[in-house]
Amino acid sequence: MPKTRAFTLIELLIVVAIIAILAAIAVPNFLEAQTRSRVSRTQADMRSAATAIEAYQIDHNAYPFDGFNRADTARYNYWYLPIDISTPIAYLTTANLTDPFRDHRRGEGHWQFDNVRYRNTEATWGTAFAPFRSDNPTSPSTYHGHMLQDTGRWSLVSVGPDGYYGPSASSSTNLYPGGAESWPTPSGYPDHPQPYDPTNGTMSWGVIIRSQLSPTGYVNTN
């Protein structure tokens, strides 16, 4: 009877070790590729939304309402693109601009945190949309001028790969143990979130932001 040759325990351990090493190399690269893909998708969605917002402004001589302190809670949601952007004229196919990095990704769903945030400077900090708001403001917010100078009439914000809005001067140090500082902009507003910068690493801190004044968010980050 011919002898049957089998792998020794040492040989099996060596194979397992090689597979583990290859997996340790491949998995992080795969996760980084997923993150880069989500960043690209978010930036592309923002680009399309920016075009739609500007087209809406041309037709209506005003940017879409952002739902801040809205009186009509059935039609508008807080800091979301409104349904007006998709109907009756489809500037966008849908106003539901999902943020792939927000809380719903971690099972911590919140009504304000599923989509890319849309903020209309006049609607949130000014008085032009007072009839749309439940508080009917009669004077602009202290930050109205800051926002006009730093982001213009509107901005779109994704939380970015870290999954949190920030870091900014008011960010919790539990979320950003290395500390969080205000992002410097011309107006001197003390609490702008830091823009996401992939050159600091795919999973680095910061938000993905686009505004009327800059595709990178703030006027001094072009």
Does 3 reside within a domain?
Answer: no
Sign of the CA dihedral with 41 first, then 120, 65, and 76 last: positive
> Which range of residues forms the domain containing residue 75?
9-211
Does 140 reside within a domain?
Answer: yes
Report DSSP state, residue 157.
Answer: E
Long-range contacts of 125-132 (CB under 8 A, 24+ apart): 128/62, 129/65, 129/68, 131/71, 132/65, 132/70, 132/71, 132/72, 132/76
Tens-place pLDDT, residues 112-124 = 568 899 999 999 9
pTM greater than 0.85 = no
Does 220 reside within a domain?
Answer: no
Does 31 reside within a domain?
Answer: yes
**Number of domains the chain contains:** 1
Does 1 reside within a domain?
Answer: no
Tens-place pLDDT, residues 128-163 = 999 999 999 999 999 999 999 999 999 999 999 988
- Cα radius of gyration (the chain): 23
Q: Percent of the chain beyond pLDDT 90?
A: 52
Does 57 reside within a domain?
Answer: yes
Who contacts 36 (Cβ-Cβ below 8 Å, separation ≥6)?
198, 202
Distance, CA of 217 to CA of 195 (rounded, Å): 7
